Structure 1
């Protein structure tokens, strides 16, 4: 009997060794579990530590814990492209402490989903950015990285997995449709992901993000490559150091195309308009895509006018 028990123990041990050896991320998984355990201990400190002699507050003698609370819930989803050459490269980047970057999910080109962090933890995916009045995007959002070098189209399998994931997140956390956005939307001066091939219209039709009503009815269709800026004053652009800077002669005399100024419309949608040209470019990357620059054509203004009302 003892011999059989020893054999059983050896088989179990061997299975565990093989299982660990088959996962190249077993060492970083152990670090993950250790950090999660440390955070859970921090949450369980009851009552809070007694204030020291340098306490700024007049604490009551008795601690009273409320019975009405829950975990914080994410209210934004930020979609990225990895700007790397493979999903393995991205997974390695997100498991190296020195990189200081992470994401809740990574979706490979073949549709495989890597859930790297509990949704209720704060991932480090957004960096400095703003959406509306929210300037701490990491604390309010779920980050999703799509394996893509930044120039190629997103694969059908990848998009199918993304849509399934978004449906689950929207249902689970009751995330508003307007709160599915891209990295470039929250950080227009720094980021351009997901790239211009990303199918934002498809996502909006599925309930993830907003889209404008089509067709946009204007006299004259936009001409690809046009750099005519319309409906704005030259001062609205600030300083633009490229050949898309509008000249005074290129300003349209059609203010009726937009009910409010571009700055106000973009701000209502959620963009940080401190750098207006960057905000315009981010808006066009998301909603226009065929012509991503810092100018607004007649068509762009009609789109903007139609769209900002949906965010009111």
Structure 2
């Protein structure tokens, strides 16, 4: 059976991710009119991941009638096309990955790569069996690479939870910082991150409280970004909350710090892991699971700020 290219508006959107594909039937070649239908289309894509945007090309077809049909659907689906185009940052080099779905971002999840170079991470995102991806990679020298359109659902958060949300991939943007987990984060890298976060926060109206680390949403599985990550600096720029160091008070006698962490958003099904995640982020340490008097004061302060 002869293969036809997928609808042209989808090709244009996917080119930025380095993907060119064809469908195996006339039915699959028809443009879907809704994001949900498009999502199923994306899930079923079988294509070739190209190395860079310089090698991308729109597949040509000799079927003139099909081209006319695609143009007609493009006009009908202009709002969807504009949505997809809006999620592409033109100034950043694109690398591409085939691991994604489609959704609108309302959280940002920050990771460290635990790898030795940006190039290694880019290669990892292009290997089919890894089943892992993110939206952005920031190198040690501050260079930003966009891997996926912001509206595509990357596979970066995995099993986790924040508040009542158990599928963070469906509502978050994933940012990978090139860092092996043992070294400090460079100033150039953090400056680039702050700039990117400002763009994303403004564009998608992401609440200040919704800038999190991978270790926040999966405390029993993940520990990134490491204890060396400057969360306080991010909070000072409006990304995430920090406690008031000059206003730490002892909580009421009935105060339950673990329940307070749950109300903040943490999954407390593994209390020891949750406490370690809290201490890693806010206390700059992850030595043990014992809460000191100051730890409890910090939790109380954060609890009042989140509510």
Query: Do Structure 1 and Structure 2 share a fold, with TM-score over 0.5?
Result: yes
Tell me, what secondary structure is at the counterpart of 1:79? strand
1:210 aligns with 2:241: yes
Corresponding residue to 1:45 among 32, 36, 41: 32
Corresponding residue to 1:147 among 166, 170, 178: 178
Structure 2 residue aligned with 1:161: 192
Task: Specify the structure having the higher radius of gyration (Cα).
Answer: 1
TM-score by length of 1: 0.67
Stretches (4+) displaced over 4 A? 28-31, 35-38, 46-49, 68-72, 256-259
After superposing the two structures, state which structure 1 stretch, 280-289 or 159-168, moved more: 280-289
Name the structure with the higher strand share: 2
Shift in Å at residue 208 of structure 1?
0.2
1:121 aligns with 2:107: no
Tell me, what secondary structure is at the counterpart of 2:239? coil
Shift in Å at residue 311 of structure 1?
1.2
Cα distance in 2, alignment partners of residues 261 and 144 from structure 1: 33
Give the aligned CA root-mean-square deviation in angstroms: 3.0
Structure 2 residue aligned with 1:296: 291
Structure 1 residue aligned with 2:19: 33
Cα distance in 2, alignment partners of residues 82 and 192 from structure 1: 11
1:84 aligns with 2:84: no
Unaligned runs of 5+ in 1: 1-27, 50-64, 219-253
Tell me, what secondary structure is at the counterpart of 1:204? helix
The aligned runs of 1:1-312 (5 Å cut-off) are 32-34=18-20, 44-46=31-33, 72-217=103-248, 256=251, 260-312=255-307
Shift in Å at residue 295 of structure 1?
1.2
Tell me, what secondary structure is at the counterpart of 1:277? helix
Cα distance in 1, alignment partners of residues 201 and 257 from structure 2: 30
Cα distance in 2, alignment partners of residues 124 and 101 from structure 1: 5
Cα distance in 2, alignment partners of residues 45 and 183 from structure 1: 34
Unaligned runs of 5+ in 2: 1-13, 38-75, 85-102
Structure 1 residue aligned with 2:73: none
TM-score by length of 2: 0.68
Change beyond 3 A, Cα 1:45–1:271: same
CA contact under 8 A between 2:277 and 2:286: conserved in structure 1? no
Structure 2 residue aligned with 1:238: none
Deviations 1:208-248 (A, max 9, x none): 00000112546xxxxxxxxxxxxxxxxxxxxxxxxxxxxxx
CA contact under 8 A between 1:267 and 1:273: conserved in structure 2? yes
Deviations 1:165-185 (A, max 9, x none): 000000000000000000000
Cα distance in 1, alignment partners of residues 297 and 132 from structure 2: 38
Cα distance in 2, alignment partners of residues 94 and 144 from structure 1: 13
Change beyond 3 A, Cα 1:292–1:200: farther
Shift in Å at residue 42 of structure 1?
8.8
Cα distance in 2, alignment partners of residues 203 and 109 from structure 1: 17
Cα distance in 1, alignment partners of residues 128 and 284 from structure 2: 35
CA contact under 8 A between 2:248 and 2:301: conserved in structure 1? no
CA contact under 8 A between 1:257 and 1:301: conserved in structure 2? no
